[in-house]
Amino acid sequence: MFDWLIVGAGFAGSVLAERLATQRGDKVLLIDRRPHIGGNAFDTHNEAGILYHKYGPHIFHTNSQAIFDYLSQFTKWRFYEHRVLAEVEGKRLPIPINLDTVNGLYGLTLDEQDMETFLAHRAEAVADIRTSEDVVVSKIGRDLYEKFFKYYTRKQWGLDPSQLDKSVTARIPLRLNRDDRYFTDTFQFMPADGYTRMFENMLDHDNIRIELNVDFKDIVKEHAARRMIFTGPVDEYFGYRLDPLPYRSLHFQHETLDKEWHQSTASVNYPQAHDYTRVTEHKYLTGQSHPKTTITYEFPTDKGDPYYPIPRPENAARYKLYEQLALAEQDVWFVGRLATYRYYNMDQVTGQALATFRRIEETLPTP
Ligand code: FAD
Ligand code: UDP
């Protein structure tokens, strides 16, 4: 009999397995229905020997010293700042939109102050900024919105930006200067030997037993463990009894090319053309040297594994009902992007798992 059954070996499940095993001496059974650990952050070498991210590009960034220090126990890091170009009207321009984006698109030579005036003239007054359209047009106006955000968002989510919470497009800042980094967090690093190796180090403990290719539905929980942590989709746990929660999925097309480099930056976004949203070249992320290169196309779809909760009011309301069920569930903790229906990055999920561990310690003091 284990102390804990943990469903899902991604960030949420693995951080909690590590904490429970090392800090409390608890015995943990960690299962995943996939054939590997790491959840969506899983990376592996392909046939050509190139390290790639199976579930799309994962770039680690955080402003939290505590989260960075915690993960640093399990990996060395490689400094990496992500840069992205968006292909608009045949030009490849920096996204997030910055001074060079505007100058490049319109053939201008604005400086930072001109840029402020330029955008102020175009920005639309929106009294109540609620949606992903509002938050962009109120800052940069309609033309840039349509060129960089409208169709990309429709493609990615199958919804118009006006149907999505402002939090979605608000992930992409506006820059008046020439900073072309995708993120500006204090800590921007990739695990030096990859995510999977980091997870292996995290889970390397006698108190943790890992079983892969095992689905929760095939486990008799009462026989397996006293308590449980669930990191899969919360609606699935409850048998969809309040109707399914919508998720967005992606189809990943990985290609290995017989040349050293394919594109001039790690990711190229396509806000105007193609069925895919972006193409990422993995060697930029991993720093690997190799005569060939692997790229990944992301095709958004409704079918397939749930990857993204869809932030909009009706979905939040449905999740709240599931959350009530989750809170009433005895001896089960729900953690992670799918179990709490939150569009969280890896560092946020790590933070959520560490906070859950602190709550567990308060509720169940170590004997
Ligand atoms: P997951 O990684 O989804 O892990 C949950 C695990 O539970 C899965 O392995 C699943 O197989 C397993 N599971 C589910 N149900 C069951 C069941 N019934 N039985 C057994 N096992 C089950 N974050 C960043 O910080 N930076 C990025 O650049 C970034 N890029 C991303 C790109 C893409 C395309 C996607 C989809 C996400 C990206 N993220 C990024 C977000 C990141 O993937 C998540 O924050 C993180 O992986 C969530 O961890 P998790 O443990 O909550 O969930
Ligand atoms: N987005 C966009 N154009 C871009 C990049 C992003 O419209 O070139 C919008 C889109 O709605 C996307 C959201 O901003 O889903 C968040 O982008 P991010 O790159 O953070 O998405 P993720 O990496 O999580 O898929």
Domain boundaries, the chain: 2-37+203-246+310-363, 84-170
* Cα(17)–Cα(29) distance, integer angstroms: 8
Residue from 85, 169, 183, 267 to probe ligand 2 pocket by mutation (most atoms less than 8 Å from CB):
169
Query: What are the backbone angles phi and psi of residue 204, rounded to the nearest 5°?
Result: -80, 85
Helices assigned H by DSSP within 204-258: 221-224, 234-237
344/18 Cα distance (integer angstroms): 20
Point out the ligand nearest to the CA of residue 145. Answer: 2
**Nearest CA owner, ligand 1 atom 24:** 345
Q: Record the tokens describing residue 32, joined without a space.
A: 């995943």
State how far the Cα of 127 lies from the Cα of 147, in Å rounded to an integer: 23
Q: What is the pLDDT of residue 330?
A: 94
Dist CA 98 CA 148 (whole Å): 12
User: At residue 160, what is the residue type?
Assistant: D
* Residue 366, pLDDT score: 77
234 Cα: distance to centroid of ligand 2 (angstroms): 24
Q: Could you tell me if 323 and 86 are in contact, meaning their C-beta atoms sit under 8 angstroms apart?
A: no
Measured CA to CA, the distance from residue 246 to residue 310 in angstroms comes to 6
Q: Name the residue of 87, 139, 148, 153 whose CB sits within 8 Å of the most ligand 2 atoms, as the mutation to test its pocket.
A: 153
Mean pLDDT by 10 residues, the chain (367 residues): 96 98 97 98 98 98 98 98 98 98 98 97 97 98 98 98 98 98 98 98 98 94 88 98 97 98 98 98 98 98 96 98 97 97 98 98 85
CATH of span 2-37+203-246+310-363: 3.40.50.720
Predicted confidence at residue 347, as pLDDT, reads 98
Given a contact cutoff of 8 angstroms between Cβ atoms, the answer to whether 199 and 9 are in contact is yes
Q: How far is the CA of 184 from the centre of ligand 1 (A)?
A: 23
Ligand 2 atom nearest 148 alpha carbon: 3
Q: Find out whether the beta carbon of 165 lies less than 6 Å from any atom of ligand 1.
A: no
| CA of 250, closest atom in ligand 1 | 34
**What is the CA(265)–ligand 1 centre distance, in A?**
25
- In the structure encoding, which two tokens stand for residue 211, read together? 């079983």
Distance 19 CA to ligand 2 centre (A): 33
In short, whether 300's Cβ falls inside 6 Å of ligand 1 is: no
Output the pTM of the full model: 0.98
Q: Measured between alpha carbons, how far is residue 354 from residues 155, 334, 342 in Å?
A: 34, 13, 16
Closest ligand 2 atom to residue 182 Cα is 19
218 CA from centroid of ligand 1 (Å)? 21
Tell me which residue has its CA closest to atom 34 in ligand 1: 56
Ligand nearest to the CA of 229: 1
Atom of ligand 2 nearest to the CA of 343: 24
CB neighbourhood size of 261 (10 A): 12
Ligand nearest to the CA of 166: 2
- Helical H segments across 35-189, by residue range: 65-72, 99-106, 112-122, 132-140, 142-145, 151-157, 166-169
Could you tell me which of 25, 21, 27, 24 has the C-alpha nearest to residue 5? Answer: 27
Closest CA to ligand 1's atom 10: 8
Of 218, 262, 204, 238, the residue nearest 328 (C-alpha): 238
Q: Give a three-class secondary structure readout of 131-147.
A: EHHHHHHHHHCHHHHHH
Rounded CA-CA distance 338/333 in Å is 13
| 34 CA from centroid of ligand 1 (Å) | 12
181: closest CA among 81, 62, 282, 57?
81
Which residue CA neighbors atom 11 of ligand 2 most closely? 153
> What torsion, rounded to 10 degrees, do the Cα atoms 87, 92, 95, 98 define?
-130
